[in-house]
Structure 1
Amino acid sequence: MIRIQQLNYAYGQKQVLKNIDLQFPEQQFSVILGRNGCGKSTLFKLMAGLEPVQSGQILYAGQALSAYKAKQRASLLGFLPQFHKTVFPFQVKDVVITGRAAFSRFHPSRQDWQLVDQALADLDIEHLKHRSYTELSGGERQLVMIARILVQAPKVILLDEPTNHLDVYYQSYLMKKLRQLSRQNFTVIAIMHDPNLAFLFADQLFFMRQYQVIQPDDHARLTDPVFLKSVYDVEFHEAMIQDKTIVVPDHSWL
C-alpha cells in the first residue's frame, strides 16, 4: 500500500530524515517506535502531505499523494496528529461529522449521520454524543478524533501517538480496535513510545534512531535487549507473559 524510497528531509540546515526506505503492508497494523526527536512525527507529516517532499518519494498504491484529488485523498488517507485543540464548544457528534466534509459538501445525509453513530458505537463512546467537546477529558477527546477518522472511511489510517492521555483500559481497548480495523480492509500505521503495547498488538514494527530507520541483525529478535538499547539508550530485560514477550527497563543505573 505505501512505499517510501530514499526519503530525506531537512529544516533549514538541520537534517531530520536520512535515506528512509520503508514499505508498509496492506491491511496490517504497523507501528513506528523510537525516542523523542528521532524523526517519527516529521515522517508522518510527509506521509500525510502536511509537508512537501524534498528528496525521495512516498507512494500510495504506486502514486504520489499529490496525484490524488481532494476527495480521492480523503478516501485514501486519514490522519490523527499528536496534538489537536478546539476552542469552540461543538457537540461531539458535530466534531465527528466533519470527517464526512469532503464527501457531503457540508450537507450531511442520513447515511453520514449513521456513520457517526456507528463510529461512536465502535469506540464505545455513544454516551459522549451530545457532550461539548471542550468539556471532555484528554482521553475522551482522543477517542472522538479517532471516530472522526473512522467516518471518513479511508484505506490508510495514520495515528501519531494514539494512546496519549488514555488510561490503561482504553490503551488496551484502542490497540485491540486498531488491530481489528486492520482486519477490516484498513491499513493502520501508528507512532508509539511504548514498545510493549506494540509487541502485544502490532503486526509490523519499525524502529527509528537519529533520523534513520534501523532494524536488528538478521538473527536478533525485535525484543532483543541489545537492539533495544541501541534504539532507546536504556538497558532492558525480557520477560514472558504467557506466550508474549515484553521488555522492562533496567533502573539499576538510576
Structure 2
Amino acid sequence: MSKITLQNIHFAYQQKTVLKNIHLEFRSNRFSVLLGRNGSGKSTLFNLMAGIYPLQTGKIYFDGQSLSALKGKVRAEQLGFLAQSHRSIFNFSVLDVVMTGRAAFSGYAPSKQDRQLANDALKTLDIQHLVDRDYTTLSGGEKQLIMIARILTQNPKVILLDEPTNHLDVYYQAFLMQKLHELSKQGYTIVAIMHDPNLAFLYADDFYFIKNQQIIQPKDPSLATDAEFLASIYDLPFQQAFIGEQKIVMPRKL
C-alpha cells in the first residue's frame, strides 16, 4: 500500500517551472530518500507535500485522503515535517522546544503523557542529557537532533525530513540514519531529502531521483546505485567500488 501518492504535480514560481509531471508513490513503513542536484526541485516538492506551498496542479494523498482535506490535529496526526533550516530567537529549554510537537493536541496545557513522549523522543536520539539546556546555545547538529525529537514527540504516521544529516558529524550521521531505518520498521513512513548517495544507499529502502524538474528512475531499480545512472543524474562522472557486498560510489576526478 502507498502511504503517499502524488499525481500530476506541476509547480512554478512566476514563469519559472520548478516541477512538472510528477507522479510518485512512497510506500508505507519504508525509509525512502529523494536525491538530485541543488535546485532540482526537491525542497519545493517537500513543501508541497507538507502543505506549506499550495498546490497549483495535481493531487497529493496520504493513505488515500487528500492533503487538502487534512486540517489541524488530523494533519498533525498524519504528517511531521523537518524543514531545511530552522531557528529560534527565544531561549526556551530543550524540553519546551520538543514539547511544541504536542501543540496541535494539547495546546498550552501539555499532559503528563505529552511530557513522557517528549522524554522518550530525546532518549531515542540519545540526547536526553540536553533536556534542560537553553536551545539557543546548542550547536547546529544538536539543534537538528532536537527538531527531529520534536517530530517524534508529535508521533505522526509520516515523517518528511529535508536534509536530516545537515550539521551532523560522522558519528551522528550514521547514528541518525540507523535510527530512521529502525523507525521505518516500527510503523513510521519516512521520506528524506539527502545529498550523500552512499549514506542513502547504506540505510534507506527506496531511492527516487529528480532531474530537470521531473522524477527520473532507472528501468531496473537495482541500477539506481550504479555509477553510470548517477552520472546521468548529477552530470558528473562517477566511479564505484565494493567493500564486502556494499557498493560505494564517488565522483571521478576530472
Cα deviation, residue 188, structure 1:
0.2
1:74 pairs with one of 70, 73, 76? 76
Change (3 A) 1:220 1:92: closer
Q: For 1:222, what is the secondary structure of its paired residue?
A: helix
Alignment of 1:27-38 (within 5 A): 27-38=29-40
- Tell me which residue corresponds to 1:147: 149
**2:198 & 2:170 partners in 1: Cα distance?**
13
Instruction: Tell me which of 7, 10, 18 is aligned to 1:8.
Output: 10
**Residue from 119, 122, 131 that aligns with 2:121:** 119
Q: Deviations 1:1-35 (Å, cap 9, x if unpaired)?
A: 11111110001100000100100000000000000
Q: Quote the Cα distance in structure 2 between the aligned partners of 1:225 and 1:217.
A: 15
Q: What is aligned with 1:228?
A: 230
What does the per-residue CA deviation read over 1:147-197, in whole Å, with 9 as the maximum and x for residues that have no partner?
000000000000000000000000000000001110111000000000000
* Secondary structure at the counterpart of residue 171 of structure 1: helix
Structure 2 partner of 1:23? 25
CA apart distance, 1:40: 0.1
Name the aligned partner's letter for residue 33 of structure 1: L
Does the 8 Å contact 1:223/1:238 carry over to 2? no
- SS of 1:221's partner is helix
Distance 2:82 2:221 in 1: 35
Matches of 1:69 and 1:4, distance apart in 2: 18
> Out of 48, 51, 60, which is 2:50 matched to?
48
2:198 maps to what in 1? 196
Which range is displaced more, 118-127 or 241-250? 241-250
Q: Equivalents in 2 of 1:115, 1:216: separation in Å? A: 41
* 8 Å contact kept, 1:40–1:208: yes
Task: State yes or no: 1:85 paired with 2:97.
Answer: no
Q: Share of identical aligned residues, percent?
A: 60
Tell me the distance in 2 between the aligned counterparts of 1:65 and 1:219.
Answer: 28
Deviation at 1:69, TM superposition (A): 2.6
Q: In structure 2, the residue corresponding to 1:38 is in which secondary structure?
A: coil
Deviation at 1:62, TM superposition (A): 1.1
Q: 1:96 aligns with which of 95, 98, 119?
A: 98
Distance in 2 separating the partners of 1:226 and 1:242: 21
Aligned residues: 252
Q: In the aligned structure 1, how far is the partner of 2:225 from the partner of 2:78? A: 33
Where does the alignment leave 5 or more consecutive residues of structure 2 unmatched?
A: none
For the residues of structure 2 that align with 1:18 and 1:132, how far apart are their CA atoms? 43
Task: Compute the displacement of 1:241 (Å).
Answer: 1.6
Partners of 1:39 and 1:157 lie apart in 2 by 19
Q: Deviations over 1:108-158 (max 9, x none)?
A: 111111111100000000110000111000000000000000000000000
Confirm or deny that 1:136 pairs with 2:138: yes
Q: Distance in 1 between matches of 2:120 and 2:222?
A: 42
TM-score by length of structure 1 reads 0.97
1:242 matches 2:227: no
CA positional deviation for 1:248: 1.4
Q: CA distance change for structure 1 residues 9 and 125 in 2, over 3 Å: closer, same or farther?
A: same
What CA distance in whole angstroms lies between the structure 1 residues aligned with 2:128 and 2:77? 24
**How far does the alpha carbon of each residue in 1:35-86 deviate from its partner, in whole angstroms, 9 at most, with x for none?**
0000000000000000111111111111211212311100000000000001
RMSD over aligned Cα atoms: 1.0
Q: 1:88 is aligned with what amino acid?
A: F
